Amino acid sequence: MIILSPAQMKQAESYAMELLGLPEEILMERAGMAVARSIRRFFPEASKIVALAGKGNNGGDALVALRDLVGGQNKLDVVLQFPEDQCGESVRRELRRLRSLGVQSSAMGSQSSWHKIQHADLLIDGFLGTGLSGELPVTLQDAFERINRMDKAVVSVDIPSGVDGETGHVFPLAMRARMTVTLGFPKWGLFLDPGHRYCGAILLAPIGLPDVSRFPEGLIELSGVLLSPWEAKSLLPERSPAMHKGSAGHVGVWGGGPGKRGSAELVSLGALRSGSGLATIYWSEAENEILPRNPEIMVASGSSPREAIFDRSDVLAIGPGWDPARISVPFVRSVLDEFEGPVVADAGIFDVFQKQPEEMRRKNGLPLVLTPHPGEMSRLLGINIQEILSSPRRIALETARLTGAIVLLKGWRTIVAAPDGRTAVNPTGAPNMATAGMGDVLTGIIASFLGQGKDAYSSTVSGAYIHGLAGEVAWKHGVRAGLLAHELAFHIPEARKTLEDVQVSSTGEDLLLFKPLN
């Protein structure tokens, strides 16, 4: 599913108005009706509803939504961020229409405005839109803080007020929504930290914009994707009725140094639980041989990875559990440059190539997937973690271009980037996954999908989706904390079955893109 920046969304709306001859007022009418529709569907008990309206189009959308809710037992009010004579034409027009229906407005900050807000069942947040830039005025900061403390049901129009629509930054806080109704297309700021934390459930509502396939080539750079369940489903490896262990992929693992030998086992377990036919751990003949706790996992000893696992493996996973001081750099180079298959690299590999990301590029040009968390990315690039956290999409994309690799930057909302400019954000995951070894299992899932014949980008984005979905499955089984990495691996088959059962959504429907776990 295409995900846009605010600037791209503005281009899409302008093109729609030009192509279809749609007046802006019609798009606003559809947007407001979509918000009202979501309120009826998800908050049917709300009858005291207040629209919080800024001076721009988001304020107009909120007022249209309120107008559509007129009737029955509903008690409706408006609170304006600015005096009416300072508002845009769309807001003034909707205020006139609402007054004709008996709905009055008051100015933000007045005693009557706070009385309305305090006694409301639901607030429609239309103060600010996706084009926010710069720090919020102190008056808005105070208002947001006060409203957030009330813990009201808030439905935000397009994006919670105070969240940057492109970066997800907040300046320094935002309206905390129970639901965000995003219009036309998802926006990046809804799925990047910390903005995502303010969104609540995220509902995508169509407003009559053309399908992206109708946009002229080059009008909008359509490189960003929010991975939807049906898209993730389409990327899963197929299971032929005639499949056997030799055709299901053999994952070779080089990882698990002293004190961290479980890392290689977790990679192998993730691979096997994701459908691989075989998994073998390389262990140096100079070390005591390990005995995996899972009897399905094999071990191969030798003087080098080339000798032990190159010939038998379809894909190699390297780095988890490495002690960089004990790793032979020539061995690492031989894996990157001479192994004739895809490589997934994690953890210790980023210490080996600290501040040398360009040295990770494979000389044979074959697929490479890198899966760092922000701390590992910091060591690889030689930049501070805060810079990575503030611009994860940009950093992931720059690293992909430097290394020639598919880069998966882990986080609450994991980002995947390719050297050709494609980027994706993964919406799955759960708080119970905050334990050691989860990344090792993810490495195994991605390696498994590569070994089953999927391309590097598809393997990485679908692997991230399944990994997070397995955490959600465990959460729904009641495991809210204390989920161990090897236990997560046991939920992978159920996560896959959950994904395989997903039905493709029809075009034109409201889509629930994200729902907080409860």
217 with 235, same domain: the answer is no
Tell me whether residue 130 is annotated as binding.
yes
Among 157, 190, 222, give the residue marking a domain's end: 222
Among 204, 222, 240, give the residue marking a domain's end: 222
Tell me whether residue 129 is annotated as binding.
yes
37 with 182, same domain: the answer is yes
217 with 234, same domain: the answer is no
Q: What is the pTM of this model?
A: 0.93
Which residues form the domain of 268?
230-502
Q: Are strands 153-157 and 415-417 parallel, antiparallel or unpaired?
A: unpaired
- Domain for residue 512, yes or no? no
Angle 153-158-161 from CA coordinates, rounded to 5°: 65
Tell me whether residue 71 is annotated as binding.
no
- Domain for residue 511, yes or no? no
Structurally, how many domains does the chain consist of? 2
Residue 243 makes CB contacts below 8 A (sequence gap 6+) with none
Tell me whether residue 341 is annotated as binding.
no
Closest to 17 (Cα-Cα) out of 9, 7, 27: 27
User: Are 121 and 153 a contacting pair, CB within 8 Å?
Assistant: yes
- Domain for residue 415, yes or no? yes
Closest to 413 (Cα-Cα) out of 403, 422, 398, 423: 423
Closest to 2 (Cα-Cα) out of 186, 189, 215, 217: 186
User: Are 360 and 381 a contacting pair, CB within 8 Å?
Assistant: no
Tell me whether residue 59 is annotated as binding.
yes
Tell me whether residue 412 is annotated as binding.
yes
Question: What CATH number corresponds to the domain at position 261?
Answer: 3.40.1190.20
Tell me what pLDDT residue 287 has: 64
Tell me what pLDDT residue 506 has: 62
59 with 171, same domain: the answer is yes
**58-71: b or e for each residue (b if 16 or more CB lie within 10 Å)?**
bbbbbbbbbbbbee
292 with 158, same domain: the answer is no
337 with 478, same domain: the answer is yes
Tell me what pLDDT residue 325 has: 87
174 with 306, same domain: the answer is no
Enter the tokens of residue 74.
Answer: 């509903």
249 with 203, same domain: the answer is no
302 with 278, same domain: the answer is yes
Q: What is the mean pLDDT of each run of 10 residues along the chain (518 residues)?
A: 90 83 90 97 97 96 97 93 94 97 93 95 94 83 95 97 94 95 95 95 92 73 86 94 95 90 95 97 71 88 89 96 90 95 97 96 97 98 96 97 98 95 96 97 98 98 98 97 97 97 77 92
Tell me whether residue 60 is annotated as binding.
yes
Tell me whether residue 102 is annotated as binding.
no
**17-41: b or e for each residue (b if 16 or more CB lie within 10 Å)?**
eeeeebeeeebbbbbbbbbbbbbee
Tell me whether residue 133 is annotated as binding.
yes
Peptide bond into 194 cis (omega under 30): yes
Tell me whether residue 321 is annotated as binding.
yes
Closest to 17 (Cα-Cα) out of 200, 166, 9, 156: 9
- Domain for residue 510, yes or no? no
Tell me whether residue 478 is annotated as binding.
no
351 with 488, same domain: the answer is yes
- Domain for residue 1, yes or no? no
| Residues forming a β-bridge with 511 | 204
| Residues forming a β-bridge with 106 | 79
Tell me what pLDDT residue 285 has: 62
| C-alpha to C-alpha distances, 244 to 251, 253, 344, 382, nearest whole angstrom | 15, 21, 23, 45
- Domain for residue 509, yes or no? no
Tell me whether residue 161 is annotated as binding.
yes
Q: Which amino acid is at 190?
A: L
Tell me whether residue 439 is annotated as binding.
yes
- Domain for residue 81, yes or no? yes
Q: Is 50 left (phi over 0), alpha (psi -120 to 50) or beta?
A: beta
16 with 117, same domain: the answer is yes
pLDDT digits (tens, 9 = 90+) for 218-270: 767 777 999 999 999 999 999 999 999 999 999 999 998 888 889 999 999 99
Among 170, 194, 222, give the residue marking a domain's end: 222
pLDDT digits (tens, 9 = 90+) for 386-434: 999 999 999 999 999 999 999 999 998 999 999 999 999 999 999 999 9
- Domain for residue 115, yes or no? yes
Helix H, strand E, coil C: the string for 447-496 is: HHHHHCCCCHHHHHHHHHHHHHHHHHHHHHCCCCCCCCHHHHHHCHHHHH
Tell me whether residue 413 is annotated as binding.
yes
160 with 290, same domain: the answer is no
Question: What CATH number corresponds to the domain at position 156?
Answer: 3.40.50.10260
Give the integer Cα–Cα distance in Å for 404 and 336: 12
